[in-house]
Amino acid sequence: MHEDPDRCYRAVASRDSRFDGRFVTAVKTTGIYCRPSCPAQTPKRENVTFYPSAAAAVAAGFRACKRCRPEAAPGSRDWDVRGDLAARALRAIAAGAIDGDGGVPELARSLNVSERHLHRILVAEVGAGPLALARTRRAQTARLLLDATELPIAEIAFTSGFASLRQFNDTVREHFGMTPREIRSRPSKHLASSGSLTLRLTFRQPYARDAMLGWLGLHLVAGIDELDGTTYRRVLPTGSVVDLQLGDDAVHLTTRIDDVRALPTIVARCRRMLDADADPVAVDATLAGDPVLAPLVRSRPGLRVPGAADGFELLAVTILAQQVSVAAARTFAHRLVEAYGKPLDAPIGTLTARFPSADVLADATYDGIGLTGGRVQTLRAAAAAYAAGDLPLDPSADRDEARGRLLALPGVGPWTADYVAMRALGDPDSFPGTDLVLKRKADGLQPERWRPWRSYAAMHLWIDHLTTTGALS
């Protein structure tokens, strides 16, 4: 996108929020970078440069605009379409892959490339190397904690991954043009006395909220998630509980956590669950070109693909759903949670436990769950492979490799592999073509025309079927 400066400038001149997160606009005369929809006076064309990422703009000496907060814009799903090295690396960095002890060397090893090659590829694609990208991510985490909590500034520095207070102060000033204390002094929402905090997660319009809520409600598993009007509540694999209130223009995330270091991961996980970084205009424009999908797109503009709170949990529940109804799968999953889930310290509403871990299910007897012997074998094999680290189920995984390893499991076929790729791996172009509903509805159509958004086409067809049959109100 940034390689077409005329198109970028047109987006800036029209303050088009659809492009927020896809590139940033750096203004030479002020030294700041903005999101395309910044409400400030449009700069002259000769005074702007466009960068593919905030990290690239910071590396070039620009700081974030205080008015439009470009670091808070929805992320870009351009990289989710791709499965190459740069895309996988960016998804891994966004998930915090180099915030641990292994750093860049471990990331390079996991991608089977040298550190030098990884750096070269990322600079070519997004204008910044892995360290610069991670540094920007840490700065954004620090800004989030400064705005949303009352933690001591020194604790925020180390929680965000900085090695020293000096490094923290310098980086925050470089990125935002303010010291941490100056950011803290600005109006914001802080931790309530109950220990909970609320954040505002933005998304691109339109957003088919009712369809998302309907899908979540249809797939609830008693004990780990519940739906109350427009608020979806669930237990995450870490044991944290999140409330996601889906508003007209944003999602309000409320969470109760003991360790705020988990906050960036929680935010990223919730954004994936609600597909908050999707580009609905690009998706809808492609799918509306099909005469069969066009009326569905008009009925539900901005339809999202629900992501997974946890890759293994999704795989396990999907295995339970093989060749049975959704209601039966939910019953089996609830029994698993009751029998093997780790209880919460105290129930929250109807939430009682976190979903069983792979370690536990690998050795479980499954007595009283009601599963066939074949289904038990599949669950045990999947759990053992995941627990051993042999089954990558996160958005940074090599999708072809992950799909191959899924298909190698006993009892896992193309439907399960494609569905998991769609929701756990975040593949926007996965199409479970063996699904009975999709086979019937896509008969005589050309799914290849829907690339690279076939996952969204599948959601349109499923939601239409569920609405027509009355399963989804």
Residue positions annotated with a catalytic role: 34, 435
Paired tokens of 115: 């550190």
pLDDT range class, residue 191, cuts 50, 70, 90: low
pLDDT range class, residue 78, cuts 50, 70, 90: low
pLDDT digits (tens, 9 = 90+) for 241-284: 999 999 999 999 999 877 777 888 898 899 999 999 999 989 99
Give the side-chain half-sphere CA count within 13 A for 160.
Answer: 30
CATH 1.10.340.30 domain range(s) in the chain: 199-469
Q: In which element (H, E) is residue 228 found? A: strand 225-228
**Section 382-407 average pLDDT:** 94
What is the predicted pLDDT for the residue at 91? 85
Say if residue 184's pLDDT is above 60.
Answer: yes
Beta-sheet pairing, 24-27 with 225-228: unpaired
CATH 3.40.10.10 domain range(s) in the chain: 5-72
How does the average pLDDT of the chain come out, rounded?
A: 91
Say if residue 432's pLDDT is above 80.
Answer: yes
Alpha-carbon span 466 to 115, nearest angstrom: 48
For 5-72, the fitting CATH number among 3.90.550.10, 3.40.10.10, 1.10.3720.10, 3.20.20.140 is 3.40.10.10
What do you get for the CA distance between the two ends of the chain, in Å?
Answer: 39
Say if residue 81's pLDDT is above 80.
Answer: no
pLDDT digits (tens, 9 = 90+) for 60-69: 999 999 888 8
**Section 405-416 average pLDDT:** 98
Alpha-carbon span 461 to 464, nearest angstrom: 5
Alpha-carbon span 320 to 308, nearest angstrom: 16
Between 122-126, 312-316, 382-386, 401-405, the lowest mean confidence (pLDDT) is in 122-126
Burial label for 358, CB within 10 Å (0-12, 13-18, 19+), is: buried
Q: What is the residue type of 14? A: S
**Section 417-426 average pLDDT:** 96
What is the predicted pLDDT for the residue at 1? 54
pLDDT range class, residue 193, cuts 50, 70, 90: very low
Say if residue 207's pLDDT is above 60.
Answer: yes
Query: What CATH architecture is 199-469?
Result: Orthogonal Bundle (1.10)
Alpha-carbon span 439 to 453, nearest angstrom: 17
Give the rounded percent of residues in the chain with a pLDDT score beyond 70: 96
pLDDT range class, residue 2, cuts 50, 70, 90: low
Paired tokens of 165: 């207070």
Say if residue 340's pLDDT is above 90.
Answer: yes
Higher pLDDT, 331 or 257: 331
The residue among 30, 140, 31, 28 whose CA lies nearest residue 75 is: 140
CATH 1.10.10.60 domain range(s) in the chain: 78-184
Query: For the domain 78-184, what is the CATH code?
Result: 1.10.10.60
Alpha-carbon span 461 to 459, nearest angstrom: 5
- Phi first, then psi, for residue 172 (nearest 5°) are -60, -45
What is the predicted pLDDT for the residue at 216? 98
pLDDT digits (tens, 9 = 90+) for 6-23: 989 988 998 877 788 888
pLDDT digits (tens, 9 = 90+) for 120-171: 999 988 889 999 998 998 898 899 888 877 888 998 998 888 889 999 999 9
Name the pTM for this structure: 0.85
What is the predicted pLDDT for the residue at 237? 93
pLDDT range class, residue 77, cuts 50, 70, 90: low
**Section 312-332 average pLDDT:** 96
pLDDT range class, residue 192, cuts 50, 70, 90: very low
- Phi first, then psi, for residue 60 (nearest 5°) are -85, 0
